[in-house]
Amino acid sequence: MFNYLKKKLDLISELLIIKQTVFALPFAYIGVLLAFLSQHANHINSVELFNWRIWVFVTLAMIGARTAGMSLNRIIDRKIDSENPRTQNRALVTGKLSVSSVWLLAVFSLGLLFVSAYLLNPLCFALSPLAALLLFAYSYCKRFTWFSHFVLGIVEAFAPIGGWFAVTGTFHWVPIILGVLIVFWMVGLDVIYACQDYQHDKKVGLYSIPSRFGLANALLIAKFSHLVCMICIVLVGLLMPLTFVYWVGAFIIGGLFVYEHSLVSPGDLSKVQIAFFKVNSWIAVLLAFCIGVDVFYTIMCSSSISGG
């Protein structure tokens, strides 16, 4: 029984690429951290940095949203996956997992998203159906528009925006900039990833930036997208009371973007997996880490001065 369950969990983990959660989850935490910093700067609820309730429900909401999105994507795309040599061994295609079981996982995950959002605040709950709709719609976009990469970015942008709203429950321009940051970050990395399927997408008539504009232009668009991402990183640093720790992280991230794009070219896509998974994972985690250290240091220092 134990081995059976472990095998099924391994299949689900492989199907949903659980390790990709490291992309979006740090950005949700970034939204939470910067919201705490904003409130602290305005002398509002500064002790809320250690509110376990917010951290737990933001984490659960993100896990629910990403699991639902990947489950729906695998269900909706299973015919396309069966025709693509790169994806024809996925568990839904081979029958190792049933469609009904993945549907069950998707429904449960959407429920987790809605309940977690409800327990955070009314604004998060009001936005959760829109997030769910985008999660469902994304998988169909590639059938009629190369703008699908941007739809994915918008879906992922709910991470930092939702993290900010979970703390404040109110609108602010900083989470919108964070959203734009993640939109263009995701567009850049997703375009690089889609270059692997350039020939297949052209052959079967699927829409993507590589199949529409060619590999060379697609990689230029990816570079431009990551340039916009870096501009947003700079804007966040200028708008928020962040210290040198943030700027050191921003500088390193700029270097990682340069390294990422040096790994791929129209004539050599052999290192796409390294660029997509490893480099981008480091970018997300590094930005969250630097902001976390910065926010913690700023709040603790100002609290100790106030106490003294």
Enumerate domains of the chain plus CATH numbers.
Answer: 2-307 (1.10.357.140)
* 23 contact partners, CB below 8 Å, separation of at least 6: 156, 186, 280, 281, 284
pLDDT value, residue 17:
53
| Per-residue confidence band for 39, with pLDDT thresholds at 50, 70 and 90 | confident
| Helix, strand or coil, per DSSP, at residue 268 | strand
Checking if the pLDDT of 47 tops 70, the result is no
Residue 8 has pLDDT above 90, yes or no: no
Q: Write out pLDDT tens, residues 181-229.
A: 999 999 999 999 999 988 888 888 889 999 999 999 999 999 999 999 9
Residues constituting the chain: 308
Calculate mean pLDDT across residues 133-159. 90
pLDDT above 80 for 49: no
What pLDDT was estimated at residue 92? 81
> For 18-27, 116-125, 127-136, 287-296, which range has the lowest pLDDT when averaged over its residues?
18-27
Supply the pLDDT for residue 260.
94
Each residue's pLDDT tens digit, 53-89: 899 999 999 989 988 888 888 889 888 888 888 888 8
Q: How much is the average pLDDT of 281-291?
A: 90
d(CA 146, CA 121): 35
- Lowest mean pLDDT, pick from 83-92, 157-166, 279-288: 83-92
Percent pLDDT > 90 in the chain is 46
Q: pLDDT at residue 149 above 90?
A: yes
| CB contact at 8 A, 64 and 21 | no
What is the torsional sign of CA 7, 13, 14, 15?
positive
Q: Which of 45-59, 144-158, 187-201, 223-237 has the least mean pLDDT?
A: 45-59
At 1 the pLDDT is 54
| Residue (of 294, 27, 51, 21) closest to 163 by Cα position | 27
94 pLDDT higher than 50: yes
Q: Residue 116 and residue 122: Cα distance in Å, rounded?
A: 11
Which band of pLDDT confidence, cut at 50, 70 and 90, is reported for residue 308?
very low
- pTM score, two decimals? 0.87
Give the pLDDT of residue 46: 47
Distant-in-sequence, close-in-space partners of 105: CB < 8 Å, separation ≥ 6: 12, 67, 71
Higher pLDDT, 297 or 161: 161
Q: What does the pLDDT read at residue 280?
A: 83
